[in-house]
Amino acid sequence: MWPAYINAIESQLPSSCIVHDRFHISQHLNVAVDKVRREEHTEMKAQGDDHLKKTRYLWLANHTGGEADAYFDELKNLQLKVARAWSIKELFRAFWEYQVAGWVRRHFDSWYSWATRSRLEPIKIVARMIKNHLDNILTWFKHPISNSVSEGLNSKIQTVKSNARDYRSFESYRASILFYCGKLDMAPELSQ
């Protein structure tokens, strides 16, 4: 959603569609929830309340049951700001399940209204950002694609780079990337 990227695409590929995928939207919402949690934890800690200590993962994870989920249910019932932020984030997940553009817009309008009235500044900032990019987000319903494969490949390349610390030549660096990303079996063949 970086403006320079959007401008470059629009000028160089004017007939292309820009798709903002669900991963990046979820990432922005998760960051907002965590900001709310940190702010509220600071306020509560000043009053001697440690309920939010070591709960970051609980607010960002998908819950599947277990002991941690029982504690998470208790936290949600404490009328915390972070619980409200989490609920707003979770409601947005339903956005991706719709099939008809009209229903998607209705869902978004309802969600946006709640998010902007939430009195949670990090959530309001993300909600406005999503609204500003809504047309390109809705493009996902026509072209459900993402750049997750290229980002995964880039992550592997960064792993090679950080593990080696430095290469004497680009050819050595390239060879390491090809071996690592190609999942080549380098074990010698055993003769019979």
Q: What pLDDT does residue 73 have?
A: 80
Q: What pLDDT does residue 149 have?
A: 78
Reading the block at residue 81, the tokens are: 């700001």
Q: What pLDDT does residue 130 have?
A: 94
Reading the block at residue 184, the tokens are: 């080549």
pLDDT(67) > 80: no
Helix (H, G, I), strand (E, B) or coil at 126: helix
Question: pTM of the entire structure?
Answer: 0.75
DSSP state of 187: S
Q: How many CA atoms lie within 13 A of 40 on its CB side?
A: 25
Torsion, Cα of 130, 133, 139, 143 (10° steps): -80
Confidence of residue 171 (pLDDT cuts 50, 70, 90): confident
pLDDT(88) > 90: yes
Does residue 144 contact residue 132 with C-beta atoms inside 8 Å? Answer: no
Q: What pLDDT does residue 143 have?
A: 81
- Point out the least confidently predicted range of 18-27, 31-40, 111-120, 181-190: 181-190
The residue ranking higher by pLDDT, 186 or 119, is 119
pLDDT(167) > 90: no
| CA atoms of 76 and 72, how far apart (whole Å) | 6
Q: What pLDDT does residue 186 have?
A: 65
Reading the block at residue 160, the tokens are: 């090679």
- Point out the least confidently predicted range of 20-29, 112-121, 127-136, 176-185: 176-185
Q: Which of 27-31, 95-99, 175-179 ranks highest by mean pLDDT?
A: 27-31
- Point out the least confidently predicted range of 75-89, 121-135, 167-181: 167-181
pLDDT(38) > 90: yes
pLDDT(129) > 90: yes
